[in-house]
A = this chain, B = another copy of it.
Amino acid sequence: MLTAPTGLTPLAAEDILSLAERAYRRLRDAIADGSLPAGERISERSLAQSLGISAQPVREALRRLEAEGMVVTLPRRGTLVAEFGPRQLAEMGLIRVALEGTTASLAARHATAGDITELLALLRAMRPLLRANDIVALAEANERFHGHIDGLAGNAFLQRSLDALRAYDHFARLRALRSTPQEPRRAWREHAAILSAIRRRDPGQAEARMRAHVRRSLEASGILDALNT
């Protein structure tokens, strides 16, 4: 019997993370970056074999992916990779618009002076990256900025949801940053505007600006086009 046609290599025994966690991340990223195409049949057993582990952790990873909608399993028949393309990215994008808006609003309510100082530092740290046009580092800095605001919101469920979303549209955002050369600077200015609203303790404006920012960046990368059919 041949191994499963997934190009997944066995897991390295280096990390302290559980095998299930590692299998989950591996599969999640493979789906997110498109290397696991939709419709691909996944067998717990053969996948376990190609990862060099037993079927249990694999199964756990699959159930987790199923809960997130990235995989659908027909009882006693098989598990398939769900569709994950422009349409799904757009759907996730709309959720991010709503949730990050709430996050900004809450951050404007709860942020301390120290928090705002940290956000300013994050913003300032992006400037040299802008000059150098280091896309990968910029994407990380962006995610750090947004993630920090998420933390200030003080809503554990909100933060959890956004973390999960970010894992999936990470690759799409990278592509978007590369495709439109003026996007990084524009995003930076919008970040600064959001931060000034937070600093002013204006939840309404913080939310409005955040929503506009996320939505505009989605439009700039053409992601929302997938919904205007």
Contacts and interface: CB of A to CB of B under 8 A. Distances in A.
Interface of A: 13, 16, 18, 20, 56, 59-60, 63-64, 67-69, 74-75, 88, 91-92, 94-95, 97-99, 101-102, 106, 155-158, 160-161
Given A13-B75, A63-B60, A75-B18, A102 B98 contact: yes
Nearest to A73: B13
Contact of A99 (B60, B64, B68, B98): B98
Contact of A56 (B56, B102, B157): B56
B155 A94 contact: yes
Given A94-B106, A97-B102, A74 B13 contact: yes
A79 B200 CA distance: 42
Contacts of A160: 68-69
Contacts of A155: 91, 94-95
A83 to B, nearest CB: 9
Contacts of A91: 155-158
B92 A157 contact: yes
Query: What is the interface of chain A mostly: helix, strand, loop, or mixed?
Result: helix
Contact of A67 (B16, B67, B95): B67
A69 B102 contact: no
A95 B102 contact: yes
A155 B56 CA distance: 31
Contacts of A67: 64, 67
Given A13-B74, A60-B63, A94-B102, 13 more contacts: A16-B75, A56-B56, A64-B67, A69-B156, A69-B157, A69-B160, A88-B156, A91-B155, A91-B156, A94-B155, A95-B102, A98-B101, A99-B99
Q: Which 9 A-B pairs have the closest CB atoms?
A: A98-B98, A98-B102, A91-B155, A91-B157, A69-B160, A13-B75, A92-B157, A95-B158, A98-B99
Contacts of A60: 59-60, 63
A59 B20 CA distance: 12
A13 B73 CA distance: 11
Contacts of A13: 74-75
A59 B59 CA distance: 12
